Structure 1
Amino acid sequence: MSQVEKILLPYFQNTNSFFVAFTDFKGNCQAVNELLIRCLNTENKEEAKHKFEEYFSPLLSPDNYIQLESGKKSLIEMPAEFITENEIRPTFWEITVCKSEEKYTYGLLWIGHLNKPMSTLHSDNSPQKESNRFFEDENYKLKALLDSSTDGSVLISPEFKILSYNRTAQKSAEKYYNTKLDVGKDFRQYILEDTKEEFYTDFKKALNLEQTVKEKELLIRSEKIWFQCSFHPAIGANGQVIGVSFNSTNIDKRKRAEEKIVENEKFLDSVLQAQHEMICRFLPDTTLTYVNNAYCSEMGYSKAELLGKKFLEFIPEELEVKILKNLKALNLKKPSQTMVHKSFDANGNPRWQEWTDTGLFDADGNLIEFQAVGRDITELIDSKRNLERFHSIFENSLHEIYLLHPEQLKITQANKAAAKNLKYSVDKLKNLSFYTVVNQPFKQKVKSEIQALLEGNKDKVSFESEHLRQSGSTYPIEIHLQKMCIDKELFLVAICVDLSERNSYIKSITEQNTALREIAWIQSHLVRAPLANILGLILLLKDEIGEDTKIQNLMLLLEKSSKELDSVIRKVADKTRMVELLDKEIDNR
């Protein structure tokens, strides 16, 4: 049984004096009573509804339906011929609008009867009295509905006289004005002074068939209270405006809750804006809907410039497909992810950022938005690259490099060159003291130099020492020590240069210089003495030769050659003295 049948037919189901049907405003039949079913020569209720639509619904013209639905007419009476049991009989129908709090009972109520003497129609069981009882009950239910409403409703005439009101309106008048509403009273005495002008304007609009709904904070007895006020035109049975239905609802709790929500949102936004991390929200197509101050600062744009933009505009083109693919992969089982990617700020500078994206889903599990928290890691990436460069230099250096802890000079890091020269593994070196690889005769010197470095004002020192291999062999080194702070902790960096080849070169040069000095000594002493004698003899012979021109020329040539030889011997002697000075400098090292 339909809702219409449950509500309406109990009033008319068992009557044998008139027919009852209910249709919508297009003539579609929704309910019929038993008497009408029998008279339509059927026992099937649905078939009876179809027959009613065929015989009776067309009796009303489209204009009739429109007039009834709009309220321009409240009742239409008309005669109709009714075929029953192969007999044509006259009938008379009353069609009226039926409406109650049940949403399914808004339509047309058809009450029909066979033409009978007028006295029959006025009996206690006449259709008219049945209809009157029905509508009296409908009015009672409508009144109950209005009184149960939390909205205060007052029907006001165009002259501001109270025509009707519900229970909530009466309670509000007693609470806020210490008075009661009465039909016929002038409603203007209940209008607050500072709202009268606006009230009259909205009241006038309602009289002109315009509805108005407003939310206002009213000052009543020194107390501010939020109300929702609405003005609706009230239409009478003749379709004319009979007044205004004024409705007010106390929405103070809701508004205070909304204000609290707004305050919480502002507080939350202030917290988000104060964060050092970048925070944003964006749609599945990457359109930004929220950004905090940190995001604006890092990207170099204002908030107005960012909102509505797609953040893909700041991403290298070759990364766009990968980023979109990763975002689309988020679901309820895996709602978040962390990505590191490059972006460009307002000046076109590349920035490295780390983002944690979280998907936001609706009740059906559809991805509707993302919230992301990011941080700029450009310095971290640069530091990592610098560290990789340093590590490459450290590991591939031809010289031994050690990172030493000042206490007991423990080796914390050593490079490949150190391990290769000392014949240790790198891991084994890390467990040793630096003194372990220093040859015994040089340990005290190394300790003294390190102590002086730690206690003095110098940042670095250099000195020569010897290293002791794992096999027991030694080799000369030049140690360059300097202080270094790593994460506010003091360390020593030792760069050790193997002097084996240099010393070998020096020894070879020294030996060559010794041989050169011996040659120079022979030339300057053993060779130069006879040369000096020859030069002296030449001078004596010049005086003895006399006028012989040929011999004089020979003597001149001999003298010239002797002096050239003497000059060469002198130059060799000068070079020898320079070599001696270099030897002394090397010895002093």
Structure 2
Amino acid sequence: MNLPININIDYEYFKRFVPTYLQNSKQYYVCITNLAGKYVFVNQLFQERYSFITENFLGLDFAITIHYEDINKCNEAALYCISHPNKTTIVKIRKPQENLADFYWTEWEFSLLKDENQQAIGILCVGNDDTEKENLKVKEKENYERLVYSESKLRAIIDCSPNYKYLISSDFAILSINKSAKKLIKSIFGKEPAEGHDFRQYLIKGTEENFFKNFYQALAGKTVLVEEEFALQEGVPKSYFQIAYVPAYHKQGKLLGITLTFTSINKRKQIEESLSDAQNKLKAILDSSPVIYILLSPDLKVLSTNQTARKSYLTLMNREVKEGDDFRGFILKETEESFFQNFNRALAGEQVTVEREIYLKEKFKKWFEFAFFPAYDQQGRLIGVSFSALDIDSRKRTEQQLRYSESKVRGILDSRFSSIALIGRSFEMLSINKKMKEAANKLFGKEPQEGDNCLEYVMPDAQDSFKANIEKAFTGEKVFVEKELLEVGGKKYWLDVTYSPVFDDSHQIIGVAYNAIDITHWKKVEDELLESERRLAILANNFPDGSISLIDKNLQILYTGGKIYQTLGINPLTLIGQSISSIFPADTSCKIIELLPSILAGNLHHFEVTRENKVYMNTLSPIIDEPKDIIDKFVLSIIDITAQKQREEEIRSKNEKLEKIAWIQSHEIRRPVANILGLVNLMNEESSYEGIEIYLEHLYRATKELDMIIHKIVYHSNDL
């Protein structure tokens, strides 16, 4: 058939081919696709249901609302409609849920849509939600498979059971039998039973009468449970069996037959016999126990007692408590109120244990532990109250002493300036002293209690190291830690922390003692000391032209420094602790040893030594320990005075020359000067020329002598 494809016909055109009731249907989805597979009409229900895909389906491909595995199915249905224009076809299609990942089942009827001229113009699709029906089918299938599986499991369970199970009809035909039963019957009768066999042929000789009686009771609707003893074969010891006759019904309530179950109870019987023996032994144990045991009925009648109870009440009240007695006559008057209260609590199912100090004879007091436990029979029915009394006087006295000792220890711990806690393996606080509580409250705003998890009181960034130290201490190792903490408010302080394993009497570790001491003050002192040492090192290491050392009375170097060590390439720290005899030359060491008594007496000493053309001044200064008022150390300063000694020698040499010049000036110059002065005076008095010439000759000689002396002075002055 030649079909024209027209995809341009508008929505209103296609709408008129759809009945109004389908256009407005609230149950059926209606859509039309043109022959190219594009939507040209959808009804309101379709639009609303799939609006999460698009607001307008017109012109869009039909596949956008179809599970991808169902697209071919739709195409095949459309081709079928085209090739069979007067027929419809049913198609089950999965449609998307709103999240586009899930789908649900729908059922659609496809038919060819024709115009007025009977020309094919599209595919008319009418559908509805089919999920519930499909789910029902799936569920039915699953239920059937589950039923088959359950039946196979039940059969497997029954076949694996050690009990012998039969399902027998009212006319004694075997309807079902498990493997254990088949095996048993074959071992007895030499043939294997099968379904349909008459069960009566497999009855053990001597059991027939009981079987028929119980079987007919079960057919009447009664469940029968009996225990029988019989031999499975002649010459074989008898066995005990528990036999259950249970009516079995169809679902409709019609009797199907009787379920017959044989259970071997040989072991149980042996246990019961052993239990009887155990009860006798238990009675012997209870009679030898120091604890008073009395079993009382709800109306306070004595059901059972042990020997200790009988003897104790005979001693206390001059009469023996016996089975059947009314126990109210044996209750001490001062304990009546608490006894009845605790007895009633036990009757209500509660287990009650109390400790009490009571008066016995002549104002004699003793501590007892009283226990009231509900007593039940084997079926779980309450039969009374087990009342017991144990003399704990010695234990209580010991506990009181321990509590007194503990209070003294607690007082000692609370008076300590350190924070102490005993920590268990699960980081629970077993014990805490007052200082620890105050410190934790200051840091975390709450006071720790015994039983708290100690990690609640450890800074988050310190918890890993804290846990590691606790675990290490639980191995038996003692751990020491010094750490800095930041208090609320920004104040820093230092703690010296010790994690010590705590052992019990059997040397088992029962916890870790956490001991934290505030060492902030000592850290401050230490920092100040380090700063002082740093400054001392700077001062010592910059000591010019030599060294300075602190030496004790045993001549050990306590500290040393100076620039001389830089020149020699020696680290002064390596000399600390050494003896002076291993550092200084022998003559210097001997000199210091010689002067030591005088130094320790408070005297200052100096001496020079020459080494390799250099002169060193050694000064030994005693140090007084003011608090002790003793001298037990001194300072040795060594200074290179070579340049100073050279300057002194130069000055001495110059002084000698100056002294020589002064001598020349005061003695040698005086003579020619005196001669010149005398000749000048004579010349002033001489009137003749000849006489003046003679004086001039002498004056010349005196002047020459003075000139020679002046040259001599100049010569000596050039050396200055």
TM-score normalized by structure 1?
0.48
Structure with the bigger RCO (C-alpha within 8 Å, sep 6+) is: 1
